[in-house]
Chains A and B, each alone.
Chain A
Amino acid sequence: MYDELTKSYQAQSDSLLGIVPGTDGIRTQALADFLSKGFPTKKTEDWRYSDLKALTASAFEMAGSDADPEVPAALSETAARFVFVNGRYRESLSDMGELWQAASVRPLVNHFTASEDRAGELVRGQDAIGLLNTALLRDGMVISVPTGVEIDDPVEIIHIMTGADAQAAHTRHLIELGEAAKLHIVERFIGDGSSYWTNSVLQARITEGGKLAHTRLQEEGANAVHTAKAHITVGAEGSYQACNLSLGGKIARFEAHVRLLSEECVAYVDGVALASTGQSHDTLTHVSHTQPHTNSDQIFRTVADARGKTSFQGKVTVDKDAQKVEADQSFKALVMDRTAEANAKPELEIFADDVKCSHGATVGELDAKAIFYLTSRGIDPVTARQMLVSAFTAEALERVENDSVRAEMTERVDAWMAKRADV
């Protein structure tokens, strides 16, 4: 069906054989799976709201570049900053900080050299997007925080795409937290106006008592396709706290797959998506409770402008023996215009009987009464709307612990509203 396209991906994958030692086996398997499955369609339940035309029309070549783009200022004090340009780690632009003293840090290329077995830790992927990431993975960061070590300042991983028309970057980051270790990863995605594809996967293993915060700031260029997946496992008393702010790209999708594997562990998966005219922002979460006394809470707030679209699919599964589970999910969308679209599909699969699960999904417009109340106190209508949107989204950003990161995110929400008023 996509002859040219599959040939291209086959050739790209082949060209990578031997490049990342240890990964040839899984790479080949992933490619074979991709070739037999093909891309999801609108009939694929998990992809019902996504338009994949941009990915299925023709193949994206492997990006790579010698360009020296400007690296944006850090959002906060950082423990380290790792910069990827067009999918490739760029040491000269990165800042190791003092992280290397406390944790093991290395680029993916060298990770599997010691033992091929470690490649077995790689999540192979289920759908074409994930499988292609595995078949074409080339670079990424591997960060392993030893038992008891707490890294307080965030570690920024910055993905920059430049001059990458019809090119793709398939990055793969691996995070491992030892017992009671603590880490805050801030992933940032920026790019120019070229029509590139960012396809990024971050996988993390949080062992007993580990705490991983995962903040994402997606500010891709206007013509970009952004697909990203987080694959997380959480051990006893561990926690995963994610917050995704989706602003950029033409088509953007973030998936969080979180498995709560032991008692007393918890997942907070939150996000804000702001869809300007013509943008589509999708979120898919799957939180799986496999053990008793595991909790999860998800708060998503989205705003869609004229002909903008946001979608949320939130799946929670509770296994048969996973009693005393509490799982909550709240999705609220604002549509700023009649041509804006918001979709929500909460999905609960519960096989245990003693669980507390709640989910709510609402779609609405800004409250005209509230706007009048604010303006009747002298506040101009643009600021009034900005205040209401800021208040609406705040709840979903609240769990970002680092004050300065959270403030930067809030500022971007306000800036989005201010820019919107200018047009």
Chain B
Amino acid sequence: MLKINNLHVEVAGKEIIKGLSLEIKAGETHAIMGLNGAGKSTLANTIAGRDDYEVTAGSIEFEGKYLMELEPHERVAAGLFLGFQYPVEIPGVSNLNFMRTALNSVRKQHGEEDMSAAEFMKLIREKAKMLGMDPDMLKRFVNVGFSGGEKKRNEMVQMAVLNPKLAVLDETDSGLDIDALKTVADGINVQRRDDTAVLLITHYQRLLSYVQPDFVHVMIDGKIVKSGGKELALELEEKGYADVA
């Protein structure tokens, strides 16, 4: 599904991703772990198509397409979703309007009709309920005045509505209390199917006890230095990054 080959990425003239390769197949859940500054968010944002992140070498293939040839919104239509580490506040745009425009934009790119307002309301209410989001928050401006945890839940509602093939979730667990973490984990687990894949980015082991990954990768200084099964996460927790790598 996703094939990253020898990826190099520069941000503001500085190389952050320094030759990273990774393959994710349908039905798999992967976790990338690494300390702050390792380049995890840079990788996630590059996959999503942030235009100030420059790919200087290597490639990212997604479902047989070269991602670098697609604009961010086209990547979403192809089935990609990025859950942001720091979701953006958008004053003046309601959450409902945002999600409905997003869903209909993807449908349009697939040559489908807009979803009716009634059908959309039913869908969004159902997803908000599943992820424990207060329905009143749907009417509020996107992420404005949301707590850290509420923002992360909002990301998960967006993911559920868009139903992507590959979800890249950047530190979705940070800022969540234990109850919220369980709800969010349930939301992620619903998204794990034979025809989908999930890439979790985290620097804690915590989330991984609720969403058990098939593979764990350790990232240091822009590269994956070690890969293994889910036991690698526990080993990291015990011994620290320095020893494991």
Are both chains from one complex?
yes
Query: Which residues of B sit under 8 angstroms from A388, Cβ to Cβ?
Result: 90, 92-93
Asked whether A47 is an interface residue with its Cβ less than 8 Å from the other chain, the reply is no
**Which residues of chain B (101-125) have a CB below 8 Å from chain A?**
101-103, 105-106, 109
Task: Tell whether A419 is near chain B: CB-to-CB under 8 Å.
Answer: no
Q: Which residues of B are found within 8 Å of A387, using beta-carbon distances?
A: 93, 97-98, 101
| A378 contacts B93, C-beta separation under 8 Å | no
- CB within 8 Å for A376 and B87 given contacts A383-B101, A392-B92, A394-B92: no
Q: Is B9 interfacial (CB-CB < 8 Å)?
A: no
Instruction: Tell me if A376 and B93 are in contact (CB < 8 A).
Output: no
> Is A395 interfacial (CB 8 A cutoff)?
yes
Q: Does A148 sit within 8 A of B, measured CB to CB?
A: no
Would A373 and B71 be within 8 Å (CB), given that A378-B105, A388-B93 are in contact?
Answer: no
Check if B73 sits within 8 Å of A375, measured CB to CB. Answer: yes
Known A372-B50, A376-B48: A381·B102 in contact at CB below 8 Å: no
A386 nearest in chain B by CB position = B101
Complex: how many Å from CA A38 to CA B50? Answer: 55
Would you call A55 an interface residue if the criterion is a C-beta within 8 Å of the partner chain's C-beta atoms? Answer: no
CB of B20 to closest CB in A, whole Å: 20
Contact check, B88 vs A370: say whether CB atoms are below 8 A apart.
Answer: yes
- Does B92 lie within 8 Å of A391, measured CB to CB? yes
A400 to B154, CA, bound (A): 32
Counting chain B CB atoms within 10 Å of each CB, which of A372, A376, A381, A383 scores highest? A376
A374-B98, A388-B93 known; A379-B88 Cβ under 8 A: no
- Chain A 363-407 interface mask (CB, 8 Å, partner B; 1/0): 000011110111111111101000110111011000000000000
| 0 or 1 for each of A260-275: is its CB under 8 Å from B? (1 = yes) | 0000000000000000
Whether A375 and B72, one on each chain, are in contact in the complex, defined by CB atoms closer than 8 angstroms, is yes
**Residues A379 and B102 in contact, CB atoms below 8 Å apart:** yes
Known contacts A376-B48, A380-B73, A381-B71: A391-B93 contact under CB 8 Å? yes
Question: What sequence of 0s and 1s flags, for each residue 67-104 of chain B, a beta carbon within 8 Å of any chain A beta carbon?
Answer: 00001110011000010100110111100011101110
Give Cα A377 to B95, complex, Å: 12
Q: Chain A residues with Cβ under 8 A from B76's Cβ?
A: 375-378
Kindly state the separation between the CA atoms of A368 and B58 in the bound complex, as whole angstroms: 26
CA of A390 to CA of B52 in the docked complex: distance in angstroms?
25
| Contact present for A377 and B162 (CB under 8 Å) | yes
Interface size class of B (residues with CB under 8 A): 20 to 34
Do A379 and B90 touch across chains, with their CB atoms under 8 A apart? no
**B49 interfacial by beta-carbon distance below 8 Å:** yes
Give Cα A383 to B108, complex, Å. Answer: 13
List residues of chain B with CB within 8 A of the CB of A381.
71, 73
Inter-subunit contact B72/A376 (CB<8 Å) = yes
Q: What residue in chain A is nearest B99 (Cβ atoms)?
A: A377
* Chain A CB within 8 A of B158 CB: yes
Are B92 and A373 closer than 8 Å at their CB atoms?
no
Residues of chain A from 40 to 76 with CB closer than 8 A to chain B in the complex: none
Query: Which residues of chain A are near B106, meaning CB under 8 Å?
Result: 378
- Report the separation of the CA atoms of residues A379 and B76 in the bound assembly, to the nearest whole angstrom: 9
Closest B residue by C-beta to A394 = B92
Which residues from chain B contact A373 at a C-beta distance below 8 Å?
84, 87-88, 90
When C-beta atoms are compared, the residue in chain A nearest to B77 turns out to be A378
On chain B, the residues within 8 Å of A376 by CB distance are: 48-49, 72-73, 76, 82, 84
Give Cα A373–Cα B91 distance, bound, in whole angstroms.
13
Q: Which of A367, A368, A383 contacts B105 (CB 8 A)?
A: A383
Interface string of B35-76 (1 = CB under 8 A from A): 000000000000011111000000000000000000111001
Q: Which A residues are CB-close (under 8 A) to B82?
A: 376
A406 CB, min distance to chain B CBs, angstroms:
14
The interface residues of chain A lying within 8 Å CB-to-CB of B50 are 372
Give the docked Cα–Cα distance between A390 and B98 (Å).
Answer: 13
Determine the residue in chain B with the shortest Cβ distance to A372: B50
Instruction: Compute how far the CA of A375 lies from the CA of B45 in the bound complex, rounded to whole angstroms.
Output: 12
**A177-208 interface bits toward B, Cβ cutoff 8 Å, 1 = contact, 0 = none:** 00000000000000000000000000000000
A370 and B90 contact, CB distance less than 8 A: yes
Is A377 touching B92 in the complex (CB atoms < 8 A)?
no
Contact A377-B49, Cβ < 8 Å, known A369-B88, A370-B88: no
* Interface residues in A70-126 (C-beta closer than 8 Å to B): none
A373 to B73, CA, bound (A): 10
Residues of B within 8 A of A375 (CB): 49, 71-73, 76
Q: Is the CB of B92 within 8 A of A390?
A: yes
**Residues of A close to B109: CB separation below 8 A:** 378
- Between A and B, 21 residue pairs with Cβ closer than 8 Å are A368-B52, A370-B88, A372-B50, A372-B51, A372-B72, A373-B88, A375-B71, A376-B82, A377-B98, A377-B102, A377-B158, A378-B73, A378-B76, A378-B102, A379-B101, A379-B105, A383-B105, A387-B101, A390-B92, A391-B92, A395-B92
Closest 8 CB pairs of A and B: A391-B92, A378-B76, A377-B102, A373-B88, A378-B106, A375-B72, A378-B105, A375-B73
User: Chain B residues in contact with chain A, CB under 8 A?
Assistant: 48-52, 71-73, 76-77, 82, 84, 87-88, 90-93, 97-99, 101-103, 105-106, 109, 158, 162
10 extra interface residue pairs, beta carbon distance < 8 Å, beyond A368-B52, A375-B73, A379-B101: A372-B48, A376-B72, A377-B105, A377-B162, A378-B73, A378-B162, A383-B105, A388-B90, A391-B90, A395-B92
